[in-house]
């Protein structure tokens, strides 16, 4: 049933929105309303510093207001608000161009998992630390040999009575070299169906036996790492959920990751122009139209697809609010990341040779970022489940096609 | 703006599904075709549809309308798309009714709209003059002579043109051939002398007429809206028609896709259900993704008509372009995935394939709407 919002509810929401707007207007420093470069982002963590004094003030005000994660419970430092209110805060922040005060995998992924599967002690230990920016998290899912077959986890955690002994290695651990803790899928039973012998374990990266090396990527970045575990002792209290039920926790988390990736276009820290803005800078116009018919046609295809994708994000939200299930959220990772690749190819084509600069003074930051984002976009349809895996999931779970 | 249906709209959807699958399945279209039906749709069915209120679904209550808005209309049209139901729903209840509603005088409204609502009056828009949609390129003229206008010219691709009681003729009353100003709309009795109407059987087994006008005389009170300012009515009417047709096209795509997925679950080749082949699974999953995007676009476009008509041109072009490409993809894949049987007349998939191609041309193909969308975006 689509609960059509009642008039008094709508009026309350209008009131809430104007209060949010007023508060943001009064509390967001002017410098925190400017577009953000990568070095302006704050990710928190033990050794972290704020990029500026204003960034610190902004973060602390948002934290004290409970709006770092508005929909998390107040007893752990959240705002205790519902999804509609949280969306209003997000919209008003966007309206004001207010920066996101802190980024983090703890907020996007681990927090929701601990809130859903964790014990009271685990919630007390981890949730507030995430909100306060005290602990930066990374994800330990993939392994060097596992690729798309995520459940083929080999890193093992042996039950040693009072602790687990962890050995193995994890790859594509995002920013592991800057993270304090890692959440891992580990093999706790090798003798059952592969999905049924996996556990979800939280590991302090300061523990003895852990080493991390960054991986250089085609984009020139090295935000991904490989992390090695050599006889690492992990307390048993760090298990999330029951032993050997890690696969369910992981699957629930993947939903968050895929949703995040499907929306990543608007969150990218790279300073690239939107394609229709780039057209005005880099393309010739005749009679108010882009002169090159091929690029004009590709641009309008892209803009229409993004229009449709944006509407589908709205629909997903409205359906969730109304308690309606549809296939829309399941297709969004595939659709969103494929569109990111189209966008990058389109920008590269529009910029011509100015999109090929890699470093140096000749090219603007935007131009170099365009080239690098293009290279980075190739990984977006691989990370978090390849497009092919996404299509398999749609075929199986939505269309219920027979499995071979 | 709502991107989910409310309870009233879902009830309407259920009613429409029950009625149309019971009374006007694809088989009914085949019978109309095979019997060379003179009208091209069942008048009895149209009366029943009018009794259900569908002829007046978007009309205000004061004219005997249901006043369900475009989202309500959209759910009925989508169901009519699933069954490929031939009826004057688009030409009369959408394009005809909105022309009167947006442009008509109060006398025209109170005379015509209740008749449309009752299913007693059918209309057809005589717009196109060439084989490609170009709504401002109007050479047909209407010249004042005494108290009457004399209409001269020729129209093509007039949907339901041979069966409609009255035509809404788009004529030039001033300006150059491709100007949007100088266009006027006239309500013309289809039996008027000087009208020569030729019914054409189209590939979708429905009708589009070629109509010529030779000194067809209409009185000045048959003008809809102001002289020379017909475009201000016509453009919003066309956009409403595009959105409504896109909703119907969503029905073709849904039905065709669901039938194809069912076939993938029953057809055995090489000792396995063909739906287990990844080559087909990925293509089906890709179609599901496109269907989800188009579903959002349709819901948005329908509610834009009711809630934010100033944004309609962009969204209407988005909807028509996206749905054009969707029905092309889904009907082509449906034939391919059914294999040889997909090419037979016995299987109904071919009806969807052919109807899709006609719908893709009605009120603008993909190129037309991409160009319009880009222009509206300023590039």
B232-269 pLDDT, tens digit per residue, is: 999 999 999 999 999 999 999 999 999 999 999 999 99
pLDDT-based confidence at residue B94 (cuts at 50, 70, 90):
very high
Q: What whole-number distance in Å separates Cα of residue A61 and Cα of residue A28?
A: 8
Among partner residues B272, B299, B371, which is closest to A315 by beta-carbon distance? B299
For residue A2, what pLDDT is reported? 41
A85-94, B257-266, B341-350: segment of lowest average pLDDT: A85-94
Mean pLDDT rounded to a whole number for chain A: 92
Query: Predicted confidence band at A264 (pLDDT cuts at 50, 70, 90)?
Result: low
Taking alpha carbons only, the member of A267, A260, A277, A263 closest to residue A99 is: A267
- Per-residue pLDDT tens for A341-375? 999 999 999 999 999 999 999 999 899 999 999 99
Give me the pLDDT at residue B128, please. 98
The pLDDT-based confidence of A4 (bands split at 50, 70, 90) is very low
A49, pLDDT greater than 60: yes
In this predicted structure, the answer to whether residue A1 has a pLDDT above a threshold of 50 is: no
Orientation angle between helical segments B349-361 and B26-34, nearest 10 degrees: 80
CA–CA distance from B119 to each of A30, A196, A378, B65, B369 (Å)?
A: 62, 63, 57, 11, 32
Q: Does residue A6 surpass a pLDDT of 80? A: no
Are B91 and B162 a contacting pair, CB within 8 Å?
no
For residue A37, name the pLDDT band (cuts at 50, 70, 90).
confident
Residue A142, pLDDT > 70, answer: yes
Chain B residues near residue A390 by CB distance under 8 angstroms:
285
CB contact (8 A) between residue A334 and residue B281 = no
User: pLDDT (tens digit, 9 = 90+) per residue, B264-294?
Assistant: 999 999 999 999 999 999 999 999 999 999 9
Q: Going by C-beta distance under 8 Å and a sequence separation of 6 or more, which residues neighbour residue A204?
A: A180, A181
Cβ separation of A399 and B281 shorter than 8 Å?
A: yes
Contacts of A404 (CB under 8 A, 6+ apart): B272, B276, B277, B278
pLDDT of residue A83: 86
Give the per-residue pLDDT at B235.
Answer: 98
Separation of first and last alpha carbons in chain B: 27
Check pLDDT > 90 for residue A275: yes
Distance in Å, alpha carbon of A93 to nearest chain B alpha carbon: 22
Radius of gyration of chain B measured on its C-alpha atoms: 21
**Mean pLDDT of all residues in chain B?**
97
For chain B, say whether A192 makes contact (Cβ under 8 Å).
no
> What pLDDT, on the 0 to 100 scale, is given for residue A261?
74
B341–chain A nearest CA distance, Å: 21
Q: Phi and psi dihedrals of B188, rounded to 5?
A: -125, 130
Reply yes or no on whether the pLDDT at B311 is more than 50. Answer: yes
Report chain A residues whose CB lies below 8 A from the CB of B288: 327, 331, 394, 398-399
- Facing B289 at nearest CB: one of A303, A318, A335: A335
Residue in chain A lying closest to B295 (CA)? A312
Confidence of residue A3 (pLDDT cuts 50, 70, 90): very low
Return phi, psi of residue B27, to 5°.
Answer: -55, -35
Q: Using CA atoms, how far apart are residues B156 and A262, in angstroms rounded to an integer? A: 45
Listed residue (B168, B167, B170) closest to B141, CA to CA: B170
Q: Name the residue of chain A whose CA is nearest to B284's CA.
A: A395
Judged by average pLDDT, the poorest of A31-40, A118-127, A314-323, B14-23 is A31-40
**Complex ipTM, two decimals?**
0.95
Distance CA(B128)–CA(B125), nearest Å, equals: 9
* A380 shares contact with chain B (CB less than 8 Å): no
The alpha-helical segments, DSSP class H, found in chain B are 7-23, 26-34, 43-51, 69-82, 97-103, 106-117, 231-264, 278-307, 312-338, 349-361, 366-376
Q: Does residue B107 sit in helix, strand or coil? A: helix
Q: Does A305 touch chain B (CB under 8 A)?
A: yes
- What pLDDT does A270 receive? 61
Residues of chain B with Cβ-Cβ distance to A312 below 8 Å are: 292-293, 295-296
Mean pLDDT of A126-130: 96
- CB B108, CB B278: distance < 8 Å: no
């Amino acid at each position: 049933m689509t609960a059509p919002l009642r008039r008094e509810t709508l009026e309350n929401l209008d009131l809430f929105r104007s209060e949010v707007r007023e508060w943001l207007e009064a509390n967001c420093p002017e410098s925190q309303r400017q577009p953000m470069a990568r070095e302006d982002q704050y990710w928190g963590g033990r050794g972290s510093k704020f990029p500026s004094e204003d960034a610190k003030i902004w973060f602390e005000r948002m934290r004290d207001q409970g709006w770092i994660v508005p929909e998390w419970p107040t007893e752990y430092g959240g705002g205790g608000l519902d999804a509609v209110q949280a969306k209003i805060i997000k919209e008003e922040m966007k309206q004001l161009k207010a920066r996101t005060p802190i980024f983090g995998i703890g907020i996007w992924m681990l927090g929701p998992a601990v809130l859903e599967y964790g014990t009271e002690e685990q919630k007390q230990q981890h949730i507030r630390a995430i909100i306060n920016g005290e602990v930066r998290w990374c994800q330990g899912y993939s392994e060097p040999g596992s690729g798309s077959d995520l459940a083929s986890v080999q890193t093992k955690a042996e039950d040693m009575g009072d602790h687990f002994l962890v050995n193995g290695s994890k790859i594509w651990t995002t920013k592991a070299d800057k993270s304090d803790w890692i959440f891992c899928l580990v093999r706790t039973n090798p003798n059952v169906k592969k999905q049924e012998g996996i556990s979800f374990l939280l590991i302090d990266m300061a523990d003895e036996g852990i080493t991390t090396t960054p991986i250089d990527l085609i984009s020139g970045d090295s935000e991904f790492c490989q992390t090695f575990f050599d006889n690492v002792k992990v307390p048993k209290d760090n298990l999330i959920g029951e032993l050997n039920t890690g696969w369910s926790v992981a699957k629930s988390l993947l939903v968050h990751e895929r949703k995040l990736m499907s929306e990543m276009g608007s969150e990218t820290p790279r300073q690239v122009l939107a394609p229709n803005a780039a057209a005005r800078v880099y393309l010739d116009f005749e009679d108010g139209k882009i002169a090159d018919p091929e690029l004009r046609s590709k641009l309008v295809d892209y803009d229409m697809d993004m229009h449709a994708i944006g509407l589908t994000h709205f629909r997903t939200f409205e359906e969730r609010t109304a308690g309606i299930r549809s296939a829309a959220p399941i297709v969004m990772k595939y659709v969103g990341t494929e569109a990111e690749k189209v966008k990058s190819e389109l920008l590269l084509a529009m910029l011509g040779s100015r999109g090929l600069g890699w470093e140096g003074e000749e090219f603007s930051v935007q131009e170099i970022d365009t080239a690098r984002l293009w290279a980075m976009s190739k990984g977006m349809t691989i990370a978090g489940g390849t497009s092919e895996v996404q299509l398999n999931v749609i075929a199986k779970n939505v269309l219920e096609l027979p499995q071979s | 703006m709502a991107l989910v249906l409310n309870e009233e709209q879902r009830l309407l959807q259920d009613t429409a599904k029950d009625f149309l699958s019971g009374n006007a399945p694809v088989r009914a279209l085949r019978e109309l075709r095979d019997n060379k039906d003179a009208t091209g749709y069942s008048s009895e069915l149209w009366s029943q549809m009018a009794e259900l209120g569908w002829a007046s679904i978007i009309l205000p209550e004061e004219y005997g309308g249901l006043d369900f808005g475009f989202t309500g209309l959209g759910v009925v049209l989508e169901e009519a798309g699933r069954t490929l139901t031939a009826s004057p729903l688009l030409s009369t209840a959408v394009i005809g009714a909105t022309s009167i509603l947006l442009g008509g005088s109060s006398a025209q409204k109170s005379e015509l709209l209740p008749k449309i609502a009752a299913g007693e009056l059918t209309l057809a828009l005589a717009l196109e003059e060439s084989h490609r949609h170009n709504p401002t390129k109007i050479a047909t003229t209407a010249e004042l002579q005494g108290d009457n206008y004399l209409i001269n010219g020729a129209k093509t691709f007039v949907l339901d043109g041979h069966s409609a009681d009255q035509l809404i003729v788009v004529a030039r009353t001033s300006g150059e051939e491709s100007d949007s100003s100088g266009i006027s709309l006239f309500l013309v009795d289809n039996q008027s002398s000087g009208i020569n109407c030729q019914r054409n059987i189209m590939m979708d087994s429905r009708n589009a007429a070629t109509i010529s006008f030779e000194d067809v005389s209409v009185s000045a009170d048959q003008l809809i809206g102001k002289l020379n300012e017909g475009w201000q009515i016509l453009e919003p009417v066309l956009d409403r028609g595009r959105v409504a047709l896109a909703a119907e096209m969503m029905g073709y795509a849904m039905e065709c896709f669901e039938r194809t997925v069912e076939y993938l679950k029953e057809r055995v080749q090489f000792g396995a259900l063909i739906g287990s082949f990844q080559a087909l699974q990925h293509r089906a999953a890709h179609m599901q993704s496109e269907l989800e995007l188009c579903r959002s676009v349709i819901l948005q476009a329908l509610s834009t008509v009711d809630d934010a008509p100033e944004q309609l041109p962009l969204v209407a072009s988005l909807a028509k372009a996206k749905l054009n490409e969707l029905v092309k993809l889904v009907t082509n894949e449906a034939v391919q995935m059914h294999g040889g049987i997909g090419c037979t007349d016995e299987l109904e998939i071919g009806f969807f394939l052919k109807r899709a191609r006609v719908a893709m041309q009605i009120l603008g193909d993909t190129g037309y709407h991409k160009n319009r969308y880009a222009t509206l975006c300023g590039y």
